[in-house]
Amino acid sequence: MNRLDYWQSDAFRPDALSWVDTALVAEGLRRAGPPSWSRVRPWGLVLALPVVGGETVWFKATPEGSAEPLLHRTLDAECPEHVATVLAADLKRGWMLLADAGSSLGEDSEAKGVEPCSDPRFLAAMSSYAELQGEVRHRVDELVAQGLPDARPHALPGVFDRLLDSLGRGARDTGDDDATALLARISTARSLVVDLAASCADRAGSVDHNDLHPWNVAVSEGQVVFLDWGDAMAAHPYASLLVPVRIGRTESPATGEALIAAYAHGRDEFVDPVEVLTAARLATIGRAWTWERSLAMNTGPSEHDGAPLKWFSRILDSDPFAAHRD
């Protein structure tokens, strides 16, 4: 039984709540009732749990092979002000219990009629995120050795080859001629991937959230907290710009530029636009790999089945920031 099946079995919830209750007692807390909210997806299960006194804690179960609990615990040690506090973690089972981190900035912006990526709070968050990358950079080799996916430039040609092989097998097995033809076009980009990776391989890698956007940021009492590290990997630091700038450009081209400028401010350095474009273009391979891993436990069709190939094909696009919200 894989973890997705287990999460949906009758045995899971009693096991999880027993573990949660034990962890809460160790923190001097007590659960006030059953989960107030839950969500199950192939890439994770989340429960919101009320505790006596009116607070909420969050239980998260992650899929086989996920480095999220390890990474989140590391981030909590290195930059605790920017992640939800880890109350307990079981690395073997892939479970975490997290303190509440506040409301989603994206949802709050929308409720106020403000474009989320243009919200000054998200621009400030981009600067804070760049600082976080600097604070955790020295732990990256260790994290990769312990299972964090490695999508740093030197590793990307190998990732490209593995994706080409696995997606190609899937297309052949399903008789998807269109996907097979698209993968043939993508295969011609391998030398480009090698050249792009070599051009920016000297930049020290860091943690890439890999899905950085306003709905994965919380702001509580003025403090920026970054949520949902399940897609994270080691990568060129500028790879983190791919998702927010793509979304920001759906608001306006100026918003995309403002996000890059805010990130550069947090790094306190000149951020070369050519290197940004190179890293973001390579990051499309990382996004494809993330989607492939996320869907690994699916046993039937889903609305996201085309996501790995869609992202993989974007290595063919000269502008990785073409406005889109996916």
Q: How far apart are CA 128 and CA 82, in angstroms?
A: 8
pTM for the predicted model, two decimal places: 0.95
State which CATH number among 3.20.19.10, 3.90.1200.10, 2.40.50.100, 3.60.20.10 fits the domain covering 105-316. Answer: 3.90.1200.10
The secondary structure element, H or E, covering residue 220 is strand 217-220
Angle between helical axes of 273-294 and 242-251 (0-180°, round to 10):
100
Q: Are 288 and 210 in contact (CB under 8 A)?
A: no
Position 300 scores a pLDDT of 76
3-state SS assignment for residue 46: strand
The secondary structure element, H or E, covering residue 89 is strand 86-90
pLDDT tens track for 292-303: 999 988 877 888
| Domains in the chain: boundaries | 3-99, 105-316
**Tokens matching residue 56:** 């909420």
Helices (H), 252-272: 253-267
Cα 305 to Cα 167, 293, 295, 296, 316: the distances in Å are 11, 11, 7, 10, 20
Residue at token pair 């890698």? 205
> Is the fold of 3-99 the same as that of 105-316?
no
Q: 325 pLDDT band (50/70/90 cuts)?
A: low
pLDDT tens track for 87-111: 999 999 999 999 999 999 999 999 9
Q: For 3-99, CATH number?
A: 3.30.200
